[in-house]
Structure 1
């Protein structure tokens, strides 16, 4: 299936890649100084916003990172600019042919004031796979991570206090060069912007109510459903809008060929639980290989659960003990009900349920109260911690 082998190859290359001490040279650190010296903000200083009522929306911050491709397909060093609008030609490849990718991740504070990212190298690898699929050049893992680091530190005052939310990070790769015929753009822009966010769903941490979409499909075999292309998201807006108007949180899509296998929710991957077995659809051809999905699979196996990545029939939802969703934006979200063919299937939830246990473990690792045995969490305030984390992977 498309995506799995390529993703594995990219990760293998990443594991062989090691950041040397040059990653933290004075030259790299000084790249922030013309616009923003992170040391000017103490750990106690925050932007003047209501952290107790932070939803999931865009809040303009101070800086964004921008770099452009060169003629040989590599990218310039890049720089921090004041957050603002981009200037694009009307003939830009992204505007005419949708040649664009994005990633999503979060920076968060711990009680000790440290600033951390969660598995950003996986986002770098996934963007590289997506770029190959859309005939775009991609950044090296080192360049990608340095761009994240610069952007987060430059916007440090926008990172919510511990327990109040996180700083959502949005890297984008777009065809910015003008092109009229259907072909790859002649130039590309990579940028990173950030926004403080709270819970993704308006229900907060309450169980989700989902309905199974039978008319529209999110992706088809041979398409780009397995990469994080911007073209995957506009088509799902109509079914989401229709679903929310009927009181649902989101939409669950079926495969486009047989219309009997569960694929994913608009914004997240899905899992079903039956006894000690956790099942989730195979990622790749039409399903995005979510990084939170991958993490939860590892946590579940470490916790003694049997995890199956396989075709999941929609009728299995009726027999499941529990259903939950995973994603960077949503975290681990329990599902309270699923409506299929007019029938509402309800699931009992509680502190002892699988999604609660797995989600608590994930958050515990991120907060530092549970040991990070796999080196998933990377601190970006301390040079040594970041470098050691990369070398350990």
Structure 2
């Protein structure tokens, strides 16, 4: 790992000089794949990870019997790097992403990626692709996708003989077009995850299962689905690929709690900011779909979406509107400004939340 760290430091120091930015329309940047210069890759074999390296190759070369292909033995993370006004670059709570990936690896019998290795790999990728980092003030960021997959020659249902850990990055704008503008959602009849299944792990199978419900929601004019708890179908769990939160009429911040929810780092951060910065009472608990009138505002939150205000939710024949279908509510807006202010270095961050790349 010594050589990796030294390489990362050298690249970071070099990147302190002015960077010639990529030819990108930053103001109209969406959320889609753009190939960047370098990505990180490491291999696990015979019980250990190798040193890892940066590569220009954006194509994986894996065995045809790889467990990631046949049995879904893979997990991933989503996180962002942010350009600050002073020229530095922030990673937002990467230790939380590292810990969540370790939990996902444990659930799928894959080797953990050590936190130091995870964070160093992310820093290397950001430092090597600074020309793709959206400038401060554009609202864009550099999205990082770390992942672990099972590879190697295999045919039976078992854990893989080898694994790959890799990280690539993509410059992105808002996940939902229109920025901080309300989006309507519809309650899905499909389940996102099974009770006692892999809902709490960030694994690809959960997302593959969401493709059809998402398509059907779009066909009906909605931004995405609201998924209910798989056991009783009475409580909100997730909103598309994001976590749900709501604001009660007496200004409590409420978000669902369930063993089949993927714990969003954005949601966990909002719990802290709502309590410590906005002085709100916060609560993780049941959010019943037939009690939406208890909430004056609602939102979907996650690394990709950041915060998306929820205008209304279609539940069967009933459509419930929160604050407005066209305007963002005042509490959701304050939470968004506080969170993004921390991420972009415009507001003081709680201790340990920011790791500097340069």
Pair in the same fold by TM > 0.5: yes
Q: Secondary structure at the match of 2:49?
A: coil
Q: TM-score, length-normalised on structure 2?
A: 0.94
Q: Tell me the residue number matched to 1:28.
A: 5
Q: Which of 31, 51, 59 is matched with 1:56 structurally?
A: 31
Deviations 1:277-311 (A, max 9, x none): 1211114x210010000000001111211111112
Q: Is the 8 A contact 1:217 1:255 kept in 2?
A: yes
Alpha carbon RMSD of aligned pairs, Å? 1.8
- Say which structure is richer in strand: 2
1:138 to partner: Cα distance: 1.3
Out of 40-49 and 244-253, give the one that drifted further: 40-49
Q: List gaps (5 residues or longer) in structure 1.
A: 1-22, 382-393
Q: List gaps (5 residues or longer) in structure 2.
A: none
Query: Residues 351 and 313 (structure 1 numbering): CA distance in 2 closer, same or farther, change over 3 Å?
Result: closer
1:103 to partner: Cα distance: 0.1
**Partners of 1:60 and 1:363 in 2: CA distance:** 25
Deviations 1:289-342 (A, max 9, x none): 100000000011112111111121111213311111110011111111111112
Q: Which of 64, 71, 80 is matched with 2:54 structurally?
A: 80
Q: Tell me the residue number matched to 1:371.
A: 348
Q: Which of 353, 371, 378 is matched with 2:330 structurally?
A: 353
Q: Tell me the residue number matched to 1:153.
A: 127
Q: Tell me the residue number matched to 1:323.
A: 298
Q: Is the 8 A contact 1:32 1:80 kept in 2?
A: no
**Partners of 1:251 and 1:97 in 2: CA distance:** 26
Q: Tell me the residue number matched to 2:118.
A: 144
**Partners of 2:244 and 2:4 in 1: CA distance:** 44
Q: Tell me the residue number matched to 1:9.
A: none
**Partners of 2:346 and 2:207 in 1: CA distance:** 36
**Partners of 1:250 and 1:327 in 2: CA distance:** 14
Q: Tell me the residue number matched to 1:195.
A: 170
Q: Tell me the residue number matched to 1:101.
A: 75
Q: Is the 8 A contact 2:217 2:224 kept in 1?
A: yes
Q: Tell me the residue number matched to 1:15.
A: none
Q: Which of 225, 229, 232 is matched with 1:251 structurally?
A: 225
Matched, 1:178 2:153: yes
Q: How does 1:216-365 map to 2 (within 5 A)?
A: 216-274=190-248, 275-283=250-258, 285-302=259-276, 303-349=278-324, 353-365=330-342
Q: TM-score, length-normalised on structure 1?
A: 0.86
**Partners of 1:37 and 1:257 in 2: CA distance:** 49
Q: Is the 8 A contact 1:41 1:156 kept in 2?
A: no
1:255 to partner: Cα distance: 1.1
**Partners of 1:26 and 1:294 in 2: CA distance:** 34
**Partners of 1:144 and 1:278 in 2: CA distance:** 32
Q: Is the 8 A contact 2:12 2:357 kept in 1?
A: no
Q: Tell me the residue number matched to 1:47.
A: 22
Query: Residues 168 and 27 (structure 1 numbering): CA distance in 2 closer, same or farther, change over 3 Å?
Result: closer
Q: Tell me the residue number matched to 1:8.
A: none
**Partners of 1:175 and 1:344 in 2: CA distance:** 44
After the TM superposition, list the runs of 4 or more consecutive aligned residues in structure 1 that deviate by more than 6 angstroms. none
1:352 to partner: Cα distance: 6.0
Query: Residues 161 and 102 (structure 1 numbering): CA distance in 2 closer, same or farther, change over 3 Å?
Result: same
Q: Secondary structure at the match of 2:27?
A: helix
Deviations 1:256-290 (A, max 9, x none): 2211011101211001211221211114x210010
**Partners of 2:335 and 2:8 in 1: CA distance:** 39
1:37 to partner: Cα distance: 8.0
**Partners of 1:287 and 1:209 in 2: CA distance:** 21
Q: Secondary structure at the match of 1:243?
A: helix
